[in-house]
Structure 1
């Protein structure tokens, strides 16, 4: 939205996501988390458990954006290779982190076996991300935040990530619900609104198509200037009503 606002990307890692065995929900959680901080999430990729692919994607994303958030691949099994890939991407070693090892020792005691000990490996220069759910930490290196793939754990890790981020102006949004007509009937009106307000974004999201019941489209106006968003929404409503199209403004949200 704004060049002065930080930008971010998400890298989802795991064969289980690509195979369809696991449905990813982390992207939605991270997107909402970043929106509340005024950080623009501009890109998301999903890659499998292949080191070269992870390294290539991570290097591209961390160069293009202020922040990169990865999820998945930091557990104790043989296919948990995210830490290895991140170390390779940054060109650093992957030693055991003393603090991470101490955390795991407290957690597992005599049951800290070799596979679990793998979770203490942190790329040199990295700092830990707290995991209040299962203790095994994530980590930050440079502008990259490496977190668990399990949604409950990943969400908890975001609490430790938030204070480390540079925030921007929050994006405000208003939704106008159009009923009784399809998306194509309001396309020209929405295009004209977008051309008249180039600092804002306009989107259309149809509903009810192909089903029995009400059809229509949700028109969403988004921008960092709340006054401009409100004014554009009011103008859009007036134009729709003048055209004889039934439209209702949904209460504001950020």
Structure 2
């Protein structure tokens, strides 16, 4: 039953994107129509503790992030700003996941996304400085509805442009060229290389991480499962109380509130 439900959700999202592409040549229109169905899907299924939005976040140092297609937020945090088009300005402390959407992903999209994620990552590093705090930092995902080249080209680009140690992100693909019913997850998995034979050509490694490319029968369901698991693990490791959230909110208001001059 669950597989059937999520397969229907996949088809609805892809149909909405295809309709937008057929009705407009404007990349911003197509891009926005790629974000909205996924945001709608996520907010229909995410628990009330999480919410999906589009927009920007403000860093602890009063720097606004680049435009982000989708952010998954800790819903306990208030927003700093809300716009009439539905985009928001959030606090960096509330961000759990950063997602970039591509309606048709190419090799150069992986390169651009990697640089964009790196820029965004530097804005949250001031909050969670210690590299041991990996499960406190937001996670990053490139979500492609479809890909233009064969999957191996995207895999090669991912290997070239993703740094599993300092700028890690996953690629989730709803539909590949090889199979219109299947998706794919591309991911670097940390491993202990003392336990495997690295001379085996099946193993592609980078900085003690294995390159994984996994064919998925229900990519949207797998993505949903991964998002929920990861977000709750981050929340558990951050362990922010309502008192902590109030303190964070006061910090952000210190620079956003206009004060009268004496």
TM norm structure 1:
0.33
Relative contact order (C-alpha < 8 Å, sep 6+): which is higher? 1
TM norm structure 2:
0.33
Larger radius of gyration: 1
- More helix by proportion, 1 or 2? 2
